A and B are shown apart, each in its own frame.
Chain A
Amino acid sequence: MILAADKLDHVSERGIRQLVDVFYVKVRADPELAPIFARAIPGDWQPHLTKMYAFWSSVMLTAGRYKGNPVARHVVIPGVKPELFERWLALFDATCGELFDDATSEAFRIKAERIAESLKLALFYRPGRPWPPEPTP
């Protein structure tokens, strides 16, 4: 438990590393998300964590360090469903709330929600089908 006064009040590389580390501990313990991630990342997690430090640093601090194609990487993961993005966002938001003050959490949440929506559209939107998609059984 981090006291309110100790929460980070701005985005920094250090904060991003903490966020990524704590967030993926939650993901790997989550009954819905853990199996999907375990299949996508069967071995050593450190390369993924390092990639995510770079990604969030590029998004939040415009560091330009991450270079990749997340749409292509997500398309090939079996078992991804639209509603899992909601679960992902809930855990991400909870982690931000633990580490950062409200304004900093909000800055992360806005980016995460937009990126999630665009990944969902890329993965699941098909012309002529309803959007947002109905939850899959």
Chain B
Amino acid sequence: MTFVVTDNCIKCKYMDCVEVCPVDCFYEGENMLVIHPDECIDCGVCEPECPAEAISADTEPGLENWIKLNAEYASVWPNITIKRKQPADAKTFDGVADKLKQYFLSKPGQGD
């Protein structure tokens, strides 16, 4: 069991999670982060830190696609452990529904 990053991270990418994660298991895409399922120890520290409430336990129902997406991109995107400034328009996109279809980018982010 691990935690997964879900839809509302897309284009918000606040990155507060990476500062508190004790095991450095966040990986960065161009406009969202994911959690590496083999590195997360399920401590749950990141979940309440996310201003966009985009992090959930993978035991919650309906997250199958997000579990797959986190695992897939964690192995190709670069590791991120140091928070940078969130996108200027993060607030505008916070809470927008179904961002995966419209906005998700598979390109890697810059990492640390």
Contact = CB atoms under 8 A, between A and B. Distances in A.
Interface of A: 55, 58-59, 62, 64, 66-71, 111, 114-115, 117-119, 121-122
B87 interface: no
B82 to A, nearest CB: 11
Contacts of B24: 67-69
Given A62-B20, A68-B24, 16 more contacts: A58-B20, A58-B22, A58-B45, A59-B43, A64-B21, A67-B22, A67-B23, A67-B81, A68-B23, A69-B39, A70-B23, A71-B23, A114-B44, A117-B1, A118-B2, A122-B41
Contacts, number: 52
B49 interface: yes
13 contacts: A55-B22, A62-B20, A64-B19, A64-B20, A67-B22, A69-B23, A69-B39, A71-B41, A111-B43, A114-B43, A118-B2, A118-B42, A122-B41
A62 B49 contact: yes
Nearest to B43: A59
Leading 5 A-B pairs by shortest Cβ distance: A118-B42, A58-B22, A66-B22, A62-B20, A114-B42
Interface of B: 1-2, 19-24, 38-45, 49, 81
B23 A117 contact: no
A122 B38 CA distance: 7
A6 B102 CA distance: 57
A28 B19 CA distance: 33
Contacts of B21: 64
B40 A118 contact: yes
B22 A114 contact: no
A114 B1 CA distance: 9
